[in-house]
Amino acid sequence: MRKKIKSALISVYYKDKLDLVVKELDKLGVKIYSTGGTQSFIEGLGVSVTAVEDLTSYPSILGGRVKTLHPKVFGGILGRRDNYSDQKEMALYEIPEIDLVIVDLYPFEETVKAGKDEDDVIEKIDIGGISLIRAAAKNFNDTVIVSSRNDYEPLLELLQTKNGETDLEDRKKFAAKAFMTSSHYDTLIFEYFNNEFKFEVFKKSELNGKVLRYGENPHQRGVFYGDLNEIFEILNGKELSYNNLVDVDASINLVAEFTEPTVAIIKHTNSCGLASRENICEAYKAAFACDTTSAFGGVIAVNRKIDLATANEMNSLFFEVLTAPDYDDDALAVLKSKKNRIIIKVQSSKFKVQSKTFKNLLNGVLVQDADSSSEKRNQFKTVTTKAPSEKEISDLEFAVIAVKHLKSNGIALVKNKQLIGSNCGQTSRVDALQNAIRKAKEFGFDLTGSVMASDAFFPFPDCVTIAAEAGVTAIAQPGGSIKDQDSIDAANKQGQAMVTTGVRHFKH
């Protein structure tokens, strides 16, 4: 059923593009109520407006904390037009009908992100606005609610095309958006308080949803919820796919762990190439050399600005995505020569490694702290007679990071800060090691003097022995097996150095 908008209450924080709506309402002869800064804004447009204080006969009090919380306001919004009892009471108490409510909320999220103190944050918890939104949305049969500046344009179009009238479907859609706004707002407030109290409750709200070409496979629907524009600037190429996003996340998180110029090449979230060098061009050459076959169609992440020399080296390879903190202009021109190649500039100052990870499974959601530990030399405990050399320690630090980012069971073989062999996702650690050795040899690497890192302890000494036979001279592993001593004895017998880190890095 169509209903004519005859009156409107407008009270907003953001006023950009509101002028067009106000002028259209005035053109349609709609009576406007407002308060505070919004009232002044409307008056500045030369449009007649009635102060809410004149309607309620009550001033704004408590420093503006209480302005619209009054029966004459909420009665006008919630009063059912087809309910005799409601209409009788509204007439008795001289409550005017309010057909349209335009209200947004104080910028709570922005205030928190800006790092303001608690007093400022608390004052940005909206009370009147959220109440108006819920009231108008509840009574969508009679009232239109516009709860975000993003809906000013749709409202304006509606007013113009339907001459100030709305259908039930229009009102119900605006109501659904309003409850989306209010639930998101309340979730953000809860998360702020729960940083202190840690209630075991899972709440997550993202308003920005982008439909992807498809999910993990073409027959699956995929949507990304979040605002990539906060951390990315896409400089070239087609839209990111579901699988692209998963691999970009894995690659950026990996290279973020390194301070030296480092390149990672990722396939299916696992690194097939990883190297650190004195400059990014040499790092790319070394990373590509790790596995020149698997690098095809991969995702590349670097932690330094890309220059022309590096771009020329990369350009001969087919890869899906490249992420870097910046690009020289001539380098970017080379990389853009492939129109579908996705080139991303990462806003390093805004990208933050997530502190929590979660996945849905069974009939619930599993949440854990992100694996933020990457053990360094001061956490290494030498458990063998022979201690690792300075070079081996440096490579072990590299290997520990590399294996942490591989799916379990994972093994990383490293030499001169280059991942010369790796394997992951195996049900047997022995299989993972043997496959890593095979891959290293397949690509011409000499394992003599290399180091090995394992994501978990060795239940038996077999991996230690196999590694020694291949040329591995130093090993890093968490330790913690009841048979640790067997592996230590094997390392001593074969003249290897072994350190334990005390931290396991399972990844599933």
- Token code pair at residue 263: 């390149």
Is 138 considered catalytic here?
Answer: yes
Q: How many CB atoms lie within 10 A of CB 489?
A: 14
CB 445 within 8 A of CB 439: no
Residue from 268, 386, 441, 507 carrying the catalytic annotation: 268
State how far the Cα of 129 lies from the Cα of 7, in Å rounded to an integer: 18
Element (H, E) at 332: helix 329-335
Is 268 considered catalytic here?
Answer: yes
State how far the Cα of 120 lies from the Cα of 368, in Å rounded to an integer: 31
Return all residues near 382 (Cβ < 8 A) that are at least 6 apart.
388, 497, 498, 499
CA-nearest of 21, 12, 11 to 157 is 21
CB 400 within 8 A of CB 501: yes
Give the per-residue SS3 of 111-176: HHHCCCCHHHHHHCCCCHHHHHHHHHHHCCCCCEEECCHHHHHHHHHHHHHCCCEECHHHHHHHHH
Q: CA-based angle 265:268:274, to the nearest 5?
A: 20
- Token code pair at residue 59: 């001033």
Residue from 6, 23, 116, 138 carrying the catalytic annotation: 138
CA-nearest of 435, 405, 413 to 423 is 435
Q: 3-class SS at 221?
A: coil
CB 450 within 8 A of CB 466: no
The strand pairing partners of 364, in sequence order, are 361
Give me the active site residues, please.
Answer: 138, 268
